[in-house]
A and B are shown apart, each in its own frame.
Chain A
Amino acid sequence: MHETDIHDLSDDADYAAASKQGSSSVTRSDSSKRSSSSEPEDAQIVYLKDNVSIHPTQYATERIGGRLKLIKQGSSLVMTWIPYKGQSSNPRLSEKDKNLYTIRAVPFSDIQSIRRHIPTIGWQYVIVVLSSGLAFPPLYFYSGGVREFLATIKQHVVIVRSSEDANVFLVNNFQDPLQRTLSSLELPRSLANGTPSSSFRGSPSPSDNNNQETQLDTVNTSGSGQQNNNRQRQKTQDPARDLSIQVLEKFSLVTRFARETTSQLFRDSLVDGQGQSQSQSQGQGQNERRRNNWASKDHKPLEMAPIDAPIAPKDVPVPSDPLEFDKLSLVWGKPRQHPLGVEEWSNFLDYEGRIMDPDALKKRIFYGGVEHNLRKEVWAFLLGYYSYDSTYAEREYVVSVKTSEYMTIKNQWQSISPEQAKRFTKFRERKGLIEKDVVRTDRSLSFYEGDDNPNVRLLHDILLTYSFYNFDLGYCQGMSDLLSPILFIMKDESEAFWCFVSLMERLGPNFNRDQNGMHSQLFALSKLVELLDSPLHNYFKQNDCLNYFFCFRWILIQFKREFEYDKTLRLWEVLWTHYLSEHLHLYVCIAILKRQRGKIMGEEMDFDTLLKFINELSGQIELDPILRDAEALCVCAGENGAGLIPPGTPPALPIPEASMYQQQDDEVL
Chain B
Amino acid sequence: MASRRRMLLKVIILGDSGVGKTSLMNQYVNRKFSNQYKATIGADFLTKEIQFEDRLFTLQIWDTAGQERFQSLGVAFYRGADCCVLVHDVNVKKSFDSLNNWREEFLIQASPSDPENFPFVVLGNKIDVDGGNSRVVSEKKAKAWCASKGNIPYFETSAKEGFNVEAAFECIAKNALKNEPEEEMYIPDTIDVARARQQKSSGCEC
Q: Which residues of A contact B (CB under 8 A)?
A: 429, 432-433, 436-437, 439-441, 443-444, 476-478, 480-481, 511-515, 547, 549-550, 552-553, 556-557, 561, 607-608, 611-612, 615, 666-667, 669
Contacts of B145 in A (CB 8 A): none
Q: A561-B41, A669-B69 are in contact. List 19 more A-B contacts (CB 8 A).
A: A429-B94, A433-B17, A436-B18, A476-B67, A477-B17, A478-B41, A481-B38, A514-B72, A515-B72, A515-B73, A549-B73, A549-B76, A549-B77, A552-B73, A553-B41, A561-B38, A608-B45, A615-B44, A669-B67
B60 at interface, CB cutoff 8 A: yes
B147 at interface, CB cutoff 8 A: no
With known contacts A440-B37, A444-B36, A547-B76, A515–B44 Cβ distance under 8 A: no
Q: How many residues of B contact A (CB 8 A)?
A: 25
Interchain CA distance A350-B57 in the complex, whole Å: 69
With known contacts A436-B18, A515-B70, A557-B41, A607–B36 Cβ distance under 8 A: no
Interchain CA distance A513-B72 in the complex, whole Å: 9
Do B36 and A443 touch (CB < 8 A)?
Answer: yes
Q: Which 4 residue pairs across A and B have the least CB separation, nearest first?
A: A436-B18, A552-B42, A553-B42, A553-B41
Interchain CA distance A443-B34 in the complex, whole Å: 12
Interchain CA distance A480-B38 in the complex, whole Å: 10
Do B44 and A612 touch (CB < 8 A)?
Answer: yes
Contacts of A444 in B (CB 8 A): 36
Interchain CA distance A439-B41 in the complex, whole Å: 15
With known contacts A433-B18, A436-B18, A608-B60, A476–B39 Cβ distance under 8 A: no
Q: Which residues of B contact A (CB under 8 A)?
A: 17-18, 35-39, 41-45, 60, 65-70, 72-73, 76-77, 92, 94
Interchain CA distance A44-B42 in the complex, whole Å: 60
Contacts of A608 in B (CB 8 A): 45, 60
Do B36 and A477 touch (CB < 8 A)?
Answer: no
Contacts of A553 in B (CB 8 A): 41-42
- Minimum distance in angstroms from A634 CB to a CB of chain B: 25
The 22 listed contacts between A and B (C-beta, < 8 Å) are A432-B18, A433-B17, A437-B18, A439-B35, A440-B36, A440-B38, A440-B39, A477-B17, A477-B65, A477-B70, A478-B41, A481-B38, A481-B41, A515-B72, A549-B73, A550-B42, A552-B41, A553-B41, A557-B41, A608-B45, A669-B67, A669-B69
Contacts of A615 in B (CB 8 A): 42, 44
With known contacts A433-B17, A440-B39, A478-B41, A513–B60 Cβ distance under 8 A: no
Interface centre among B37, B42, B60 (most CB of A within 10 A): B42
Contacts of A607 in B (CB 8 A): 76
- Minimum distance in angstroms from A112 CB to a CB of chain B: 38
Interchain CA distance A556-B38 in the complex, whole Å: 15
Interchain CA distance A669-B16 in the complex, whole Å: 12
Interchain CA distance A439-B39 in the complex, whole Å: 9
Interchain CA distance A433-B39 in the complex, whole Å: 10
Do B44 and A477 touch (CB < 8 A)?
Answer: no
Interchain CA distance A198-B68 in the complex, whole Å: 67
Contacts of B68 in A (CB 8 A): 666-667, 669
